[in-house]
Structure 1
Amino acid sequence: MNLRDLEYVAAIDRYRNFGRAADACHVSQPSLSAQVKKLEERLGVELFARTSSGVFTTDAGARIVATAKDMLRSAQRISDTAAEYHDPLSAPLRIGMIPTLAPFALPYLSKSIRAVAEDLNVIYREQPTHVLLTELEERVVDVAMMSGPIERTGYRFTPVFKEPLVLMVSASHRLANIDNISPCDIPVEELLLLTKEHCLRADTISLCDDKNIGVDVPEQILATNFLTMTHYLAEGVGCTLVPMMARPILECVNSEMRFITIDDSSYGRDIGFVSRKGCPREHILMALCAEIRSRPPMNVAPLS
């Protein structure tokens, strides 16, 4: 079998329709059907069940398609790696971003990338920190934008800006009408934390350094994102720390939220890019970092 055969079976599995799969592969439906039939005869198993209700992948077909997709991804990585060295701007730049940053920074980052390389194709992936580090190692992503510093052999963390954290409360909270608060006055026992896969949870615990953090929050309450947190807070459940870049969107989606500046510059996080040392696209990343430092997002401080 060849890669074209694998593309055909992957397309049929995706679209569950031979006609749409053929269009996606830029071949005629008879040609695709005949090639898949030859592949099934060669393998000795039926990959797809053709019924009046549609096309279904058989049990054997599902396992074979999964392997085919792995092989196609590996082949694409070979092509992309060669392109990186031959022409670093020709292959898509795959950027990973942590979930507490991606919804708020992605439009800004896209604009910054266009300023550096207007024609560069970019693919974004939103994943928690530990997943992104694995995906960097497996070359699923080229760089990852996250909170640092990150110390990892063979990798480098390049900081671009420091993002302050602010205290978010509801309009009915007793602190709602103040503009600033000192760290010692933060009601740590009321702090609502994100789930464990988020690095901001560990940052919050480290900054507050109090064994009573969150003790007044029912332990059954869970939140994986800030939008959910705004609803909890509006229902009278405590307060939380959020990054500054999240504020405009959270204010927009939930008018009941109030934001309080913390009078301590250490209440923030260093945002930067993690990349593999010796990456052939290092010059693109460095140009992007320079662009971000020269025109940082609002209310953050550039880092060199």
Structure 2
Amino acid sequence: MELVAEDLQAFAVFAEHRNFTRAAEELHVSQPALHTRIRKLEARLGERLYVKQGRQLLLTGAGERLAAFANDAKDRAADFLRTLDNAPPRPLVLIAGSGAYLYLLGDQLRRYLTRGRELRLRTGDAGATLDAVRDGSADVGVTALGIPPDDLDCTLLVQVPQVLIVPKAHRLAQRRTVRLKDLQDEALVVPPKDRPHRQQLERSMLDQGIRWSVAVEAEGWELLVHFVRLGIGPAVVNGSVRTTAALRKIPVKDLPPVRYYVVSRPDRDERVEELMRMLT
């Protein structure tokens, strides 16, 4: 069995994006050609490298190991080339969700970049963030986690409550706190069904036997806030989400807080240590 460098490079890019269209664009090949290359790689290895779950492509255990190997090979090649031409080190890669970038990391990133450091930014949900840190395609991740994984170093960044946001004219707007039972028969603005925040909310509502309905599904905190401001319905969001003076934020007492962590591999170097110190 032989692993071809071009196949490893192609799979590393696919593993980074977990999306055939974006990976093919970066590699400057057609999407069918990339799909065929990875299918042949799976056949050669006798292992599934990814699976489809809903709208997402997830790496299998074999896929994560191959991505880590491919990224390690790429880094070793880059390190060797730097010994020849004294090229500067590659920029570090940070991956986080859009909410973390919007509401938690702005000041830290400005301070880091004003020191003249280069930093490549990627976006991803919790699963994509953990996968990218594990396989080496990202150096540091910031994401919300219920239970931090044992194989990565996870440092608590911030803990925020879950809050209900409503217009000032809403029946609950004058409450200092609410409980889920107060949302009986409400039509809520919620994320899509495959998002962890939506899934936790649905489980909590089901556990308490609360009837509710979907007013509209919205991708991203800013769009949720926008729909609430339009009066389409209230929404439960992370307490870090910024709203406007036209809306009230009310803590939900019987939902757990959301904990954001800075995540890295245990074998991180001094540059990664510096970035983590700046973030926390």
* Bin for the TM-score computed over the shorter chain: 0.5 to 0.7
1:91-170 map, 5 Å: 91-114=90-113, 118-170=115-167
Secondary structure of the residue that 2:214 maps to in structure 1?
Answer: coil
Deviations 1:78-101 (A, max 9, x none): 4566799xx9x9431211112332
- Per-residue deviation, 1:147: 0.8
Amino acid of the structure 2 residue aligned with 1:232:
F
Match for residue 284 of structure 1 among 271, 274, 277 = 274
Structure 2 vs 1, CA of residues 260 and 246 (structure 1 numbering), >3 Å: closer, same or farther?
A: same
TM-score by length of 1: 0.57
- Could you say which structure has the larger radius of gyration? 1
Does residue 258 of structure 1 match 2:257? no
Amino acid of the structure 2 residue aligned with 1:283:
E
- Per-residue deviation, 1:195: 1.4
Partner Cα distance (1:58, 1:278) in 2:
34
Structure 2 spans left out of the alignment, 5+ residues = 1-5, 7-27, 38-66
Count of aligned pairs between the two proteins: 218
Secondary structure of the residue that 2:105 maps to in structure 1?
Answer: helix
Q: Is the 8 A contact 2:156 2:260 kept in 1?
A: yes
1:177-216 map, 5 Å: 178-184=174-180, 186-187=182-183, 189-190=185-186, 191-205=188-202, 210=207, 212=209, 215-216=212-213
Amino acid of the structure 1 residue aligned with 2:100:
L
Percent of aligned pairs with the same amino acid: 18
Partner Cα distance (1:131, 1:227) in 2:
21
Partner Cα distance (2:80, 2:145) in 1:
30
Structure 1 spans left out of the alignment, 5+ residues = 4-56, 293-304
State the partner residue of 1:269.
258
Amino acid of the structure 2 residue aligned with 1:242:
V
Structure 2 vs 1, CA of residues 59 and 175 (structure 1 numbering), >3 Å: closer, same or farther?
A: closer
Secondary structure of the residue that 1:101 maps to in structure 2?
Answer: helix
Structure 2 vs 1, CA of residues 81 and 157 (structure 1 numbering), >3 Å: closer, same or farther?
A: farther
